[in-house]
Amino acid sequence: MKISLNNIVSTCILSGTLWIAGCTSSFDDLNTNPDSTTKVQSSMLATDIILDMVKSSYYWKNEFLVKRMFWGEQMDDEQYNRFGKADFSGVLKLTSAQKMVELSTEADKDGYTGLYYFMKGWYFWRATMDTGDIPYSEALNIEEYVYPKYDEQKDVFKGILSDLALAEEHFSKATKAFDGDPFYNGDPLKWRKATNVLRLKVLMSLQKRADDTPELNIKEQFAQIVNGGVLFSGNDDNLQVVYSDLETNRNPYHKEYTRSIETFAATNMIVDPMKEYKDKRLFYYLAPAQALTDPTYLPEGETLLQPSDWDAYRSVDVAGKYDIEMAKISARMHSRPNDVYRLSYTGVPSIRLGYADMNFLLAEAAERGWIQGSAKQYYDEGVRASFDFVRTTVPSQYNNGVEITDADIDMYLHGEKTAYNEAGTITDRLHQIWMQTYLAGYFHMSYDAYYDFRRTGYPAFPINPDTNLNTQNDKIPMRWLYPDSENNYNKEQLKIALQRQWNGVDDVNNIMWLLK
C-alpha cells in the first residue's frame, strides 16, 4: 500500500488509543509485560521509531537494486530497471515522534527532541532522494494545511540540514540517556555522532550542487562538522541491528524467513573485483558454487575444488537474460550468500550508518578539497574498518577456511590495484574510494549504493538493451514515481510540482534538481 504524506498525517493526528492502534507498528519486539500499564510512553514510541528506521536497512531486495545480487526465483523489476511508485509511509513515524516529545519529561526532553529531529531529517531525506520535490514545510501541519504544497528540492534540503543541526544541538544538551533505545541505550553522545555522520551523508549527496548553491554552504558545513570532531571513532559506534537467537530478533535473511535466499546469486559486479583484488572478504560474503565443491553435483569436465579456492566462486551476469542466468543457478554453478546469512539466527549485524562508510565520505571530501587531512589515511581507515567488521562478525565456522589477518589487510592496502593511487588522477582515486564503498556495503546501507551510483556513475551498472525493462532501454532509472495516493489525495499540489520540475510528466528517467 502506498501512502501519501497528506494522508499519513490526517489519519494519525488523532489522540490516545487511536494513535497507537492505527498509526504504529506492533510492539512485539518490546516483550511487554501483559500485566503492566498499556499507557503509551515516550520510551515505547522511541523504540518503535528507531526499530523502523534501522531495520529498514535489511530489506533483501535492495541487493538486487544495487546489482550485487541476482534473484533466481523470479525476475526482479528493479534488478532489471523497472521502477514503480515510491512510498512515503516512513513519514508516518514522525507523527509518533512528535507525540514522543510531547510525552517526555523535562529531564529527558532534549534526548527525545534530538531523536525527533534526527528522524525528521532522515525520513524527509529519503523521500526527496527517491522522488524530487516533496511536501515538507506544510506536511506535518495538517490542521492548517489540508493539501500541503510541494517544496522545491533545494528548500527541502535546507530544511533537512536545519533539522539535523537541531538534532545535534539537542543531543549535545541532553544530560541523561533516554529510555526505549535498543541500539545506543539512549546515549546522547552516540546519537550526536550518528547525527553528524548523517549530516555528512546528506551534504555529500548534494555534491553536484556544491558550487552553484551558495545558500546551502555545502562545503563549509561539511568542514565545520568534521572540525567539530564529534564523529564515529570505530565500528563500535555503528548504528546497526545486532541479531540474536531470540525469536523476536533473529537474522531476517535466515532461510526459515527468506526461503528464496537459496536462489540468491552473487553477480559479476561484486565477484569480479573481489577476485581481481584478492579480497578475502569474498570468503566471508559468499559461499562457493555448490557444483564445484560437492562431488554430487560436479559437472563433467570440472575439477572438484575446496571452499578456500578462489575459482570456486562463480557469478552470474546481472544484466544477462533471465533464463540463461537462471540455468546457472539451477545447475548450482553460482555463489550464494555465505551460510552465516542463510543458516545462522544471529547472522551478521546490519549497518545503517557505519564507521567504514564515514571514512570513505571523508576521503572523497579530502580529495575534493572540502576538508583538510589525508584522503589516503581516510581511505586506508575505511578499508581497515570494513575488513575488521567482517572478520569480527562472521564466526570462523563460516569463513570457508580463510582467515583475515592484520598482515592480509596491510597487504591489501599495498596491493597493485588497491593501494591508494596517489600518483594517479583524482578520478582514479575517487574510483577507488567509490569501489571500496560499494564492496563494504554488501547487505548494508539500504539504497545508498544506488544513490551513490546515480551521483557518481561508479561502479557503472551494466545496461543490456535486450533485458533492460526501463521505458528507455539504454538508461538506468533516476528516480521512483510519486505514490498513487498523492494523485488521489493531493492531486493539485502534485500537478504543480510536476509542472515545475518536468513539464507535468512523472517519469522514472526525469533528472531531479539534486543531480543536474
* pLDDT tens-place string over residues 82-118: 999 998 888 878 988 999 999 999 999 999 999 999 9
User: CA Rg, the chain, in Å?
Assistant: 23
- Report how far residue 4's alpha carbon sits from residue 516's, in angstroms, rounded to the nearest whole number: 26
Q: Average pLDDT in the 113-140 region?
A: 96
Pairwise pLDDT comparison (39 vs 171), residue with the higher score? 171
Element (H, E) at 494: helix 491-502
The band of 463, judged by pLDDT with boundaries at 50, 70 and 90, is very high
Secondary structure tally for the chain: helices H, strands E = 21, 6
pLDDT at 61: 82
**DSSP helix/strand/coil, 195:** helix
pLDDT the model gives residue 57: 53
**Least-confidence region, from 11-25, 83-97, 355-369, 481-495:** 11-25
More confident: 315 or 49: 315
Cα–Cα distance for residue pair 201/40, rounded to 1 Å: 33
pLDDT of residue 516: 93
Q: What domains, with CATH codes, occur in the chain?
A: 1-29+42-62+84-231+486-516 (1.25.40.390), 243-348+355-443 (1.20.120.840)
**Distance from C-alpha of 369 to C-alpha of 277, rounded to nearest angstrom:** 28
pLDDT band for position 4 (cuts 50, 70, 90)? very low
Q: For 172-186, what is each residue's pLDDT tens digit?
A: 999 999 999 999 999
Report yes or no: 186 and 180 within 8 Å, Cβ to Cβ. yes
**% of the chain residues with pLDDT over 70:** 91
pLDDT of residue 91: 82
- Residue 16 pLDDT > 70, yes or no? no
pLDDT at 9: 42
Q: What is the pLDDT of residue 337?
A: 97
Give SS3 for 74: coil
* pLDDT above 80 for 18: no
pLDDT of residue 27: 29
Task: Please name every residue paired with 330 in a beta bridge, in sequence order, or none if there are none.
Answer: none
Lowest mean pLDDT among 37-41, 126-130, 223-227, 231-235: 37-41
Least confident piece of the model among 59-68, 325-334, 497-506 = 59-68
Taking 90 as the threshold, does the pLDDT of residue 167 lie above it?
yes
Confidence check: pLDDT of 263 > 60: yes
For the cut 50, the answer to whether the pLDDT of residue 214 exceeds it is yes
For 47-94, write each residue's pLDDT tens digit.
Answer: 999 988 876 655 678 999 999 999 999 999 999 999 999 988 888 789
For residue 150, give the H/E element and its range: strand 150-151
**Is 70 exceeded by the pLDDT of residue 10?**
no
Coil vs helix vs strand at 481: strand
Note the pLDDT of residue 248.
Answer: 85
Does residue 262 register a pLDDT over 50?
Answer: yes
pLDDT of 310 above 90: yes
Q: How many CB atoms sit inside 10 A of residue 441's CB?
A: 24
What is the pLDDT at residue 31?
Answer: 41
Spell out a b/e string for 213-243, using b for 16 or more CB atoms within 10 Å of the CB, else e: eeebebbebbbebbeeebbbeebebbbbbeb
